């Protein structure tokens, strides 16, 4: 197995608590998993980070794209400073049939291109079947976490702690 050089993170349900039938629209609604700090172990190992997140709330005019990016940066801020251009968002709704909305691979492929990374050197951490399907379509490894979601079975390592251990074991 090749060394992991890029970790692509889903946001809602992975880095922040999923808000049932709603979106993360306010800073005060940020709620990270208890083991969120474990990601610092990856930060200290030279791995690059990107975010790939479906955010139809933008096209629904509930929040602006810059605000989603700002909130995403605040979710990560305790452990990781990330540039705006490392956050890949699909702001479309399902009916728009774009190539970037997960489960399609567009967001992940854009992230790979931006970081000039090979699919074999990347892993996507997410919490849904859509995330798993997007990773498979893009040819990247997938690690599921379920701290705030339904367990994805054999693809799921259940926690950020276990995901970090797995990624470090690839090195």
* 114 lies in some domain: yes
Instruction: Please give the Cα distance from 81 to 77 (Å, whole number).
Output: 6
Q: Is residue 137 part of a domain?
A: yes
Structural domain includes residue 156 = yes
Q: Which residues of the chain have pLDDT under 70?
A: 1, 171
Dist CA 41 CA 122 (whole Å): 16
Tens of pLDDT, residues 81-100 = 889 999 999 999 999 999 99
- The CATH number of residue 94's host domain is 3.40.50.1000
Question: Is 1 contained in some domain?
Answer: no
Instruction: Give pLDDT, residue 44.
Output: 82
The answer to whether position 64 is within a domain reads yes
Structural domain range at position 17: 6-169
In the chain, the number of structural domains is 1
Q: What is the pLDDT of residue 147?
A: 79
pLDDT of residue 58: 97
């Amino acid at each position: 197995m090749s060394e992991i050089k890029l970790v692509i993170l889903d946001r809602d349900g992975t880095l922040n608590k999923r808000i049932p039938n709603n979106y993360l629209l306010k800073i005060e609604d940020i709620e990270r998993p208890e083991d969120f700090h474990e990601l610092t172990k990856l930060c200290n190992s030279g791995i690059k980070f990107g975010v790939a997140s479906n955010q139809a709330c933008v096209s629904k005019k509930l929040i602006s794209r810059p605000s989603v990016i700002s909130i995403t940066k605040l979710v990560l801020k305790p452990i990781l400073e990330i540039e705006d251009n490392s956050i890949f968002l699909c702001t479309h709704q399902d009916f728009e049939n774009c190539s970037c909305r997960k489960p399609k691979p567009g967001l992940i492929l854009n992230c790979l291109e931006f970081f000039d990374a090979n699919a074999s050197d990347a892993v996507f951490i997410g919490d849904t079947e859509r995330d798993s399907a997007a990773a498979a379509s893009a040819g990247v490894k997938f690690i599921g976490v379920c701290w705030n979601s339904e367990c994805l079975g054999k693809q799921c390592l259940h926690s950020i702690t276990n995901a970090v251990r797995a990624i470090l074991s690839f090195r």
